Amino acid sequence: MSKKLIMFDIDGTLLDHDHKIPESTKQAIQLVREAGHEVAIATGRAPYYIREIRKALEIDAFVCFNGQYVEINDEVIYKNPMQPELLTNLFSDAEKNIHPLVYMGAEAMRSTVENNEIVESCFASLKIDMENITMNPEYFNEVEIYQTLLFCEAHEEVAYQQAMKNLDFIRWHKHSTDVLPLGGSKAKGIEQFMIRQGFKKEDVYAFGDNLNDIEMLQFVGHGVAMGNAPDIVKKSAKYVTKDVGEDGIAYGLELVGLL
């Protein structure tokens, strides 16, 4: 079998419902690596929030911020930052509506508010400590921002979508949505990864479970939706594996013939 590229989402895919990596997942990834295939991560998370996972799985390449930042063996090969003027408009509307934002840079995150229960609950759902996320509403004027989190309800998000046609909004939590550069997606980041590493679509596999995985699952040659994914995500994939908590990764790798 020729060398394949296998991209894995993190939350709900590599991490189970208790935010742990199942032993079956660790073993399966080790086996496909030993078979000569390349393994990488494709996540909405920032690089500094995937270090322990990468270490546990010995993964040296990743697509972060839902495709806006790609790194291979400590080399950044692709960046797609958000335009500061668009972030200025976003901040203005969010401040007017009393909706918090969290700016996501390559080295750190900064919030427009302090001690907000909704923001803290969203991060807690990912088992992420907010201790190092300090307040700095002007952070987007100081560093490149690759993704922004907007904290509002789904019905409130509609007004932002209508007013800001040059940004994409992808909901990841009932209280929060990812804000990305227009057209930005995991698929775009994976495409840059493929170009750099010389992979064709038919040799690329991707596993995911949420709305921000749809473009990725549709783009690669072999999209695999987790059993715990919503129906809309499953319909976008070529294959559907078992729930992440039921050895879904190992089963999915067997399903597509990589184990």
User: In the chain, which residues have pLDDT < 50?
Assistant: none
pLDDT at 184: 95
Which strands, in side-by-side order, build the sheet including 5-8?
A: 75-79, 69-72, 61-64, 38-42, 5-8, 204-208, 222-225, 239-240
pLDDT at 1: 79
In the set 9, 11, 178, 209, the catalytic residue is 9
Which amino acid type is present at position 256?
V
pLDDT at 256: 98
213 belongs to the catalytic site: no
Tens-place pLDDT, residues 108-163 = 999 999 989 999 999 999 989 888 899 999 999 999 999 999 999 999 999 999 99
pLDDT at 117: 94
CB-CB neighbours of 150 under 10 Å: 23
**Kind and range of the H or E element at 200?**
none
**Kind and range of the H or E element at 25?**
helix 23-34
Report the length, in residues, of the chain. Answer: 259
Domains of the chain are: 5-79+184-255 (3.40.50.1000), 84-181 (3.30.1240.10)
